[in-house]
Amino acid sequence: MARRRSMFSIFRRLVVIGVLGVGLLTAGALGIAWVALGPTDTVGEVDFDTELVIPPLAESTIDEQGRRVFELTAQEGHLDLGEGAVDTWGFNGDYLGPTLRAERGEEVLVHVRNELPEASTVHWHGMHLPAAMDGGPHQMVEPGGTWDPTWTIDQPATTLWYHPHPHGRTQEHVARGLAGMFILDDPAAQVELPSDYGVDDLPVIVTDPTVRRGAVDGGREFGDRVLVNGTEGPYAEVSTELVRLRLLNGSPMRVYQFSLDDGSPLVQIGSDGGLLPAPHEATSVRLSPGERAEVLVRLEPGETRVLRSIDPDLGQNFLAERFSGGQDRFDVLQLRAADELADSPELPEELAPDIVEHAGDPSAVDRVREFRMSGRQINGAQMRMDHADEVVTLGDTEVWEVTNHGGEVHTFHVHDVQFRVLSVDGREPPPELSGLKDTILTEEGVTYRLLMTFTDYADPAVPYMYHCHLLKHEDQGMMGQFVVVEEGQEPAIAEHEGH
């Protein structure tokens, strides 16, 4: 008995030593990571000596069927980041792509050409369109191949974007530079806003290049600088009292919290899917990957302001914040006002008071679905290309209840629709979430109730995606698929057993 006991206590001692050892090693590794992944801070360090490049407006022609026709070629290129050129990818150029622009009611056709050494896709992020035109992982374009999606623009004026979506490779393709803006106009829009592209209406595509061995490397999560429209240390000359910035977070993983260096407010006028109901003065605007915001900045003659990203509030525990860029700060873009500034339109009190009606009637909800985000799974499942996780009936208004249970930063993006945030943890959404959205950051343990209506396009065979828009997570399978079917129609791809 005594012998057994002492054997047991030796064993127990060994376990304790082992546990202590592992604990020490973990603490050591964390410590090393803590230092190695220390906060990146470029505030006050950026020279702003390069004029901001404005992506050209894509040329288009009108074909015999009246369609507006664009050409987009994904190709290899180079970008000079100061330490010599690095290999990049871009559309119709070296890095990023031209700005596409079309009006509500117009039919568009895009001739997409893939001149990359591997297959890719072009997804129209935020666009309401048929699933077969969406450019998700089911619409692959082989090297040397072409793809000709066509659809009718039918949604409020806003700032959308396009980027590749090949399953498992999206982070890499976007990081290398494949992204561009897609501006939608609405000829019926009433509000007068600064809208002279490249003059008082500036595209601001913020990317986070992760460079290794002379190439933009999509494997790393975070870079140590930011680019605007591919320009490092950019300044923009401003000649009007008000300048409108169309902010797009085109970074694969990084969350930004934009603010002005002197603490003066940014006036947010738009979110992902269009104008806000009313302008909202904010000291900062947080954007997770894929999100957009339109803001106005008011300048005095001769003054200089810096748009900066302060340490973003990620709604996470201390450790998750630290290792997700939650302490990083960047100087992003300098605005230089001329000595004389042209008048700008008066800012109206209301912008688009009824815009959320687009998402449907909250008192006539046909179905509620729950989405639990955790690990690299949504509702306990990973992306399966041949399964429909959800089947939606055309015309239905639904509430999607999304909760991040993960202890990590996640976001939630839905294809095809723009949604309205009905509530955040049971409360009214904050003003920045009062308009239409297609992507939101999901803070830990908080439930977001999203209202959306699936109009126009049913296709039982081709799914749309919903996913975390942190592209590494998406690539690792944090994505699901839904098909939209006509009432009574069966999906033509396998339905997930759980339903």
Question: Which residues of this protein are in contact with ligand C2O, per CB under 6 A?
Answer: 123, 125, 163, 165, 290, 413, 415, 465, 467, 469
410 is in the binding site of which of Cu ion, ligand C2O, none (Cβ under 5 to 8 A by kind)? Cu ion
**CB nearer to Cu ion: pick between 184 and 296:** 184
280 is in the binding site of which of ligand C2O, Cu ion, none (Cβ under 5 to 8 A by kind)? none
Least separation in angstroms between CB 478 and Cu ion: 5
**Residue 116, C-beta contacts closer than 8 angstroms, at least 6 positions apart:** 74, 75, 76, 89, 143
Least separation in angstroms between CB 397 and ligand C2O: 22
**CB nearer to ligand C2O: pick between 99 and 240:** 99
Least separation in angstroms between CB 234 and Cu ion: 27
Least separation in angstroms between CB 272 and Cu ion: 10
Question: Strand 479-485 and strand 464-467: pairing?
Answer: antiparallel
470 is in the binding site of which of ligand C2O, Cu ion, none (Cβ under 5 to 8 A by kind)? Cu ion
Least separation in angstroms between CB 438 and ligand C2O: 8
322 is in the binding site of which of Cu ion, ligand C2O, none (Cβ under 5 to 8 A by kind)? none
472 is in the binding site of which of Cu ion, ligand C2O, none (Cβ under 5 to 8 A by kind)? none
**CB nearer to ligand C2O: pick between 138 and 469:** 469
Write the burial class of residue 258 (CB in 10 Å: 0-12 exposed, 13-18 middle, 19+ buried). Answer: buried
Least separation in angstroms between CB 350 and ligand C2O: 30
467 is in the binding site of which of ligand C2O, Cu ion, none (Cβ under 5 to 8 A by kind)? ligand C2O
165 is in the binding site of which of Cu ion, ligand C2O, none (Cβ under 5 to 8 A by kind)? ligand C2O
In this chain, which residue has its C-beta nearest to ligand C2O?
A: 125
Q: How far apart are CA 483 and CA 393, in angstroms?
A: 8
Least separation in angstroms between CB 115 and Cu ion: 23
**CB nearer to Cu ion: pick between 171 and 344:** 171
Residues in touch with Cu ion (CB under 5 A): 125, 410, 415, 468, 470, 473
Least separation in angstroms between CB 458 and Cu ion: 19
**CB nearer to ligand C2O: pick between 391 and 465:** 465
**CB nearer to Cu ion: pick between 174 and 421:** 174
**CB nearer to ligand C2O: pick between 129 and 341:** 129
**CB nearer to ligand C2O: pick between 291 and 432:** 291
468 is in the binding site of which of ligand C2O, Cu ion, none (Cβ under 5 to 8 A by kind)? Cu ion
Return phi, psi of residue 492, to 5°. -95, 10
Q: How far apart are CA 211 and CA 81, in angstroms?
A: 9
